[in-house]
Amino acid sequence: METTLGPVDAEKVERDRDAVRRRRYVRLSDRGGGVYLEGLLDPVAGEHVRAALDAASYRPPSANTVSTTPPHHHNSPSIKRLPG
């Protein structure tokens, strides 16, 4: 089955992207012995931050476990994808 897409309104795509970029922010603050992170990122920047946090929070498997999956493929239980 072939899907045909209509014409792309490049100006609208640009406006939508710019609107998200204007709203984006990141706030870091020290709280209770940890660092609190709050923000809104565009989808591309969000995926970059998610990948960096996943890599930074990797915990090697216990000595009783053998893993052939590289560290960057492990999902951290503390970093979850929220719907939306």
CA 77, 79, 81: angle at the middle one, nearest 5? 110
The torsion angle over the Cα atoms of residues 73, 74, 78 and 83, rounded to 10 degrees, is 50
**How many domains does the chain divide into?**
1
Give a yes or no: residue 3 inside a domain.
Answer: no
Give a yes or no: residue 33 inside a domain.
Answer: yes
Q: What is the pLDDT of residue 7?
A: 84
Task: Tell me the pTM.
Answer: 0.52
- Look at 4-8, 14-18, 37-41, 48-52 and tell me which has the smallest mean pLDDT: 4-8
Q: Name the residue range of residue 22's domain.
A: 18-60+67-84
Helix locations, the chain, DSSP H:
10-23, 43-56
Mean pLDDT score across all residues of the chain: 78
